[in-house]
Each structure stands twice: as structure tokens, then as C-alpha cells.
Amino acid sequence: MRLSHLMSRTLRQAPSEAETPSHRLLLRAGLVQQLAAGIYSFLPLGWRALRKIEQIIREEMDAAGGQEIRMPALQPVELWEASGRRETYIPPLFIVKDRRERELALGPTHEEVVTELFKQQVQSYRELPVLAYQIQTKFRNEIRARGGLIRLREFIMMDLYSFDADWEALDHTYDRVFQAYVQTFQRCGLPAIAVHADSGPIGGKDSQEFMHLTEVGEDQVLTCERCGYAANTEKADHRKVTLPPEGPLPLEEVATPGVKTIEDLARFLGAPVEKTLKAVFYAASQPGSGGGPEPVFVAIRGDLVVNETKLRNVLGGAELRLMDDREVADVGLVAGSASPIGVKEAAKRPVRVVADDSVLSAPNLIGGANKPDVHVRNVNYERDWRADVVADIALAEPGYPCPQCGEGALSLHRGIEVGHVFKLGTMYSERLGATFLDQRGQQRPAVMGCYGIGLDRLLAAVIEANHDERGIVWPAGVAPYAVHLIALSPDRAGVRDAAERLYAELGERGVEALYDDREESPGVKFADADLLGMPLRVTVSPRTLEKSAVELKRRTESETTLVPLSEAAARVERVVKVVAG
């Protein structure tokens, strides 16, 4: 490709709205152009890089046993209603209507559609496992698109779906695809780690995200350097401090004038915060239920914070918001001094009580009395109160003991999610009737897995991981071109003829080259070469031709090398192969 004909231009300065290094470089290098918030056009160099990523993914999924298919972006909403996800999917679906006023969803994901495909195409256990994948445009109704290609409303995704006969078989498939993901990110030149993750609106049993750790990431990850534990903060656990055992003491009311917070309570009574019982009130709405929000009383040890993702999962995917003091009072309870003791009797309407498991073995806590300015000492679970649900709903935080080894302390990092793998199980196959005949001739629901990679986001993460102060530093596997050929002063001393011959010979050898044949100064051409970041720069100039040579420079190195003009094409071909590994 001749740079003089390329349908994009470089920028010396990034637009002010660019938020991250990858966003700035994508715009400055002319890889993409924004059409609207979260909607981008890919220009030739950006599209070539994306196609390189796409091909790596395709090769790895094929090697793992995947079969490539293509499913519609338009999906009947009846499928989403049958799976129960129309009202619970976050962000909400993009819904359009056809000329008959029938509703269709612009697909953000394809679990429902692929399950329908399986129903029609697979009948017997002999046909399992099935691994089907596509690389296709998706649509997400994001509230706030951000970070260039990191969070989009329209994007390209590889989503693979697996169908197995049982959980053991799914485990083998999951491991196989997991390794394909590891290979994919390595070939793309992206450092990525697997972290335990929440399944979110996809559902399922187990899931892991692949994260590139970077300060500009929108996700938060907790890791343990001692044992390698890693989890998204939405999913992360920690080893909770166990309080010393004590015999239960009698309940004792104590006046606490003006005390509203746990910190104030602990200070006022001279007690550690872990000896207090915190009450948090949520309004929980079940999407599609048609009813009003349900009051939820959450009881958790005072030194801990509620993890709303865990709480949402415990409550079956309910939408949560904190209740204000007026709403708490309307229920019949006292904000700042609410008590789990007798809460159901004191409440004016039904209240669900959820307790973090930290309270089970925490004796003689200080809790609310459900009276203004009064608290109660020596509150004990089971003797004095019980919850409707007991679960781990605590937020893990930096410095907490690792849940895996118990010895290391958790550290907080930011990251970009570039891939996600799920063990879905039978949720979709049961709801949508995707069954097969087993060896005994009985119908059984298929056990499913789901595996996704966002290509646009992966491209952005590759640039985040591979750039310097001058521009992009493309890994060889995803570089738009292997070589950036520059002709300096092309109208002098046969430079243009030599560069044209070398460009043609590289093409004959199958070496992909971007040829800067423009009438620009050396400074502009070298700056653009660094900005665009191809792995190898080849320069033809009057100075090099005086020595019957051309200049070679790798983007990752500062040194240049002169090679004879007669050997240039062959030498460049060999260097390209070495750089590509």
C-alpha cells in the first residue's frame, strides 16, 4: 500500500476527548474514526490489524475443535422471553420493530439463538461435543460508552458455544478452549491473566475473565502475589478475620445520642468496628415482576462492606438501590439504629433479611435497637435473631488475607477485560428445550459453555500494552504491515527508482509493506513511521544510495543497520520472519 493513496491521515495531536493512550493513538494514527458515541468506523490500517486478530482467533478456535457459523444479529424477542432474560439483561436490549410491529432485539450475545440451532441440528449423544463459534457484530445499549474501543455500543465479537453430554465433558471442553484463549493472547502480543469473575447477565456456574492489567482499565482485580489467586472485585473472596470465641452475654440497651454510623458507634462505646453489626437497607426489584420493590435488610459485620454484585446474585438477579432514611422510616424501622432483632415484627410490611456469613461466628456484637439514639450490646445470631438468607456478600478489599492461601495479602489492580469464559450448564437448554438422546435412549438437556472475545477491545488492549512516547509498537502477529518502507527525497539521485524496485520485490516475496512515497520532509516521515509502529522500517535515501545500501531499523530498537541494496529484499524477508518468531 502506498501511503500517498491511503484513506486516512495521521494527526500530530489527539482530539481532546481521547481518554486513554490507546484511544489517542487509534485516532492519531488514523486507525479509526468516530461516528457517534461508542460507534466507530475502521480505516484501512485499523481494519487490517483487526483482521489479523480475527485470523489468529479463527485459527485457535478451529484448532480447539470449533466450527465456524454465522447467526443473525436480529433476534425475536420471544427467545429472550423464553430464556427469562428480556427484563434482566443489563444493559437493556436494543429493541426495534418490523413493519408488522413485531419486536426484534439487536443481539448483544447469542445464547438463545445458538440453543435454538442445537435443538434443530443435534439429536444424539454421538454428535457431542459440539463447539460452534462466530465472529460477528454485536450491539450493547451502553449508558456511557468510553475509552475509544474499550466500551462500545456496536462492536465485533467472537462468541463460541459448546454443548456436552455432562459436566465432566464440559470441564474438558472448557479447559481446551481456555488454552486456546491463552494461545490467542500470546500470539497477539498481549499480556493477560485469567481471573475469577461474576457471570453477570450471561448466567452459569463458573466463569473466568482474561484481563490485561493496566491503569486505564475499567475493571478492578484483586490478586495475591504469594499463590497467584486473582479475581474481579465483583467476585473476589477473602479470608475473613475470625473473632475470639465468647460465651453469649445478656442483651443490654445503651443510649447512643447522635450516633448514626458504625465508626461513630465504635468510637462512642470504645469497641472495635468488627464487634459491631451493620444494617444496610436496599430496595430490590425483580425485573418483569410488575410489583414494587421489596425492602431488604442486610446485616453484616461492621468492619466489612456489602458487595452488591454478590447480594444481587443471592436475590436472584434483582436490581438494587440503597433506601434513604425516609423509605426506611416508611417501612417502620429506624435508620442509623436499625435492629435485626424483631425486624419482621417491627416492620409495617414484609422485609427480607439477608446476613453475611461473618455474623454466624461473631459473638456479642453491638447492634441497633430500632429506637432513636439507642443500641444493644451482646447481639448473637440464632439466639436473638435469624436471617432468611445467609451467604458471603462481603466485598473483598486490598490488604485482606487471600482466600486461597490465607498468607498473602490481596493487592488491587485495574484491568481491561479482553475475554470471558463461562460454564453455563443447563440453564438455557432446559428453558429452551435443547435436549439429546443419551446412551439409554432418554432425553437430557445439553450442558453448555460460552466463550467470548471482543475484537475491538482486544485491539485497544494490544495498543495499551505495546506503545511508547512516539507511537504504537505493533507485535508482529497483528501489525497492519510487516514493513514501513520510506523513500527520503524521492526525486533525488535515483531514490524513487530504487524504492520502487524494492517495493515491487518485497511484494513478489510476499512481504507486506506500507510504502511512504509522499513528498514530505524526513522528519515528518520518520515521525509517522514511529507513530504507525510497523515492526521494521526500511529507508532508501540519497545518503544510503551513496553506499549502494538501504537502512533497516526495528521499531523496538534504536540502532540502524545498512544492508546492500542488491540484498535488501532478501534481508528484509529474513528479518521479518525473525521478528514474527
| DSSP class of 402 | P
Predicted local distance difference test score (pLDDT) of residue 490: 87
Predicted local distance difference test score (pLDDT) of residue 144: 86
Q: Does 443 reside within a domain?
A: yes
Q: Does 12 reside within a domain?
A: no
Residue 494 region by backbone torsions, left for phi larger than 0, else alpha for psi between -120 and 50, else beta: left
What confidence tens digit (pLDDT) does each residue in 522-544 have?
A: 999 999 999 999 999 999 999 99
What DSSP assignment string belongs to 77-128?
Answer: HHHHHHHT-TTT-SSPPEEEE-TT--EEEEPS--HHHHHHHHHHH--BGGG-
Same domain for 456 and 489: no
What confidence tens digit (pLDDT) does each residue in 353-411 have?
A: 999 999 998 999 999 999 999 999 999 999 999 999 999 999 999 999 999 999 999 99
Q: How far apart are CA 373 and CA 396, in angstroms?
A: 31
Whether a cis peptide bond, with omega within 30° of 0, leads into 91 is: yes
Q: Nearest CA to 481 among 456, 515, 523?
A: 515
204: pLDDT strictly greater than 70:
no
Predicted local distance difference test score (pLDDT) of residue 268: 95
Same domain for 294 and 440: no
Predicted model pTM: 0.91
Query: Taking the C-alpha atoms of 90, 92, 93 and 94 in order, what is their torsion angle to the nearest 10 degrees?
Result: -140
- Dihedral of CA 72/77/81/86: which sign? positive
Same domain for 150 and 209: yes
497: pLDDT strictly greater than 80:
yes
Predicted local distance difference test score (pLDDT) of residue 283: 94
Q: Does 38 reside within a domain?
A: yes
Q: Does 495 reside within a domain?
A: yes
- Alpha helix stretches (DSSP H) within 304-453: 308-314, 325-331, 343-346, 427-432
Residues 414-431, mean pLDDT to the nearest whole number = 95
* Percentages of the chain per state (helix, strand, coil), in multiples of 5: 30, 30, 40
Structural domain boundaries enclosing 421: 19-72+107-236+412-464
Backbone φ, ψ for residue 221 (5° rounding):
-130, 135
Check if the beta carbon of residue 234 is closer than 8 Å to that of residue 305: no
What confidence tens digit (pLDDT) does each residue in 458-473 have?
A: 999 999 999 999 999 9
Predicted local distance difference test score (pLDDT) of residue 356: 97
Of the pLDDT bands very low, low, confident and very high (cuts 50, 70, 90), residue 581 is confident
Q: Output the domain CATH number for residue 528.
A: 3.40.50.800
Predicted local distance difference test score (pLDDT) of residue 522: 95
- Dihedral of CA 145/148/150/152: which sign? positive
Q: How far apart are CA 402 and CA 413, in angstroms?
A: 15
Same domain for 155 and 215: yes
Return the exposure string of 347-375: e unless at least 16 CB atoms fall within 10 Å of the residue's CB, then b: beeebbbbbbbbbeebbbbbbbbbbeebb
Looking up cell 465483583, which residue turns up?
234
Predicted local distance difference test score (pLDDT) of residue 291: 66
Same domain for 424 and 335: no
What confidence tens digit (pLDDT) does each residue in 11-42 have?
A: 999 888 898 999 999 999 999 999 999 999 99
Same domain for 262 and 181: no
Q: How far apart are CA 215 and CA 209, in angstroms?
A: 17
451: pLDDT strictly greater than 70:
yes
Q: Does 473 reside within a domain?
A: no
Q: Output the domain CATH number for residue 170.
A: 3.30.930.10
165: pLDDT strictly greater than 90:
yes
Same domain for 165 and 45: yes
Predicted local distance difference test score (pLDDT) of residue 492: 84
Residues 418-427, mean pLDDT to the nearest whole number = 95
CB atoms within 10 A of CB 145: 20
Check if the beta carbon of residue 144 is closer than 8 Å to that of residue 438: no
Predicted local distance difference test score (pLDDT) of residue 203: 58
Predicted local distance difference test score (pLDDT) of residue 16: 86
Same domain for 319 and 230: no
Look at residue 536 and give its three-state secondary structure. strand
Q: Does 355 reside within a domain?
A: yes
Predicted local distance difference test score (pLDDT) of residue 192: 97
Strand-by-strand arrangement of the 294-301 sheet: 319-322, 277-285, 294-301, 352-356, 389-391
Predicted local distance difference test score (pLDDT) of residue 14: 87
Looking up cell 504469594, which residue turns up?
226
Predicted local distance difference test score (pLDDT) of residue 160: 98
Q: How far apart are CA 176 and CA 241, in angstroms?
A: 37
Residue type, 403: P
Whether a cis peptide bond, with omega within 30° of 0, leads into 129 is: yes
292: pLDDT strictly greater than 80:
no
Check if the beta carbon of residue 515 is closer than 8 Å to that of residue 570: no
- Burial (Cβ within 10 Å: 0-12, 13-18, ≥19) of residue 240: buried
Cell numbers for 389, please give them.
Answer: 438468607
Same domain for 574 and 516: yes
Same domain for 148 and 23: yes
Check if the beta carbon of residue 443 is closer than 8 Å to that of residue 450: no
What is the average pLDDT score of the chain? 94
Do the strands 277-285 and 230-232 form a parallel or antiparallel pair, or are they unpaired? unpaired
Same domain for 343 and 379: yes
Q: Output the domain CATH number for residue 386.
A: 3.90.960.10
Predicted local distance difference test score (pLDDT) of residue 288: 62
What confidence tens digit (pLDDT) does each residue in 224-274 have?
A: 999 999 999 999 999 998 899 999 999 999 999 999 899 999 999 999 999
Residues 188-193, mean pLDDT to the nearest whole number = 97
Predicted local distance difference test score (pLDDT) of residue 17: 85
Q: How far apart are CA 155 and CA 145, in angstroms?
A: 12
Cell numbers for 125, please give them.
Answer: 449423544
Tally of domains in the chain: 3
**Residue 352's beta-bridge partner residues?**
296
Q: Does 566 reside within a domain?
A: yes
What confidence tens digit (pLDDT) does each residue in 44-72 have?
A: 999 999 999 999 999 999 999 999 999 99
Q: Does 241 reside within a domain?
A: no
Predicted local distance difference test score (pLDDT) of residue 2: 95
Check if the beta carbon of residue 194 is closer than 8 Å to that of residue 223: no
Same domain for 259 and 222: no
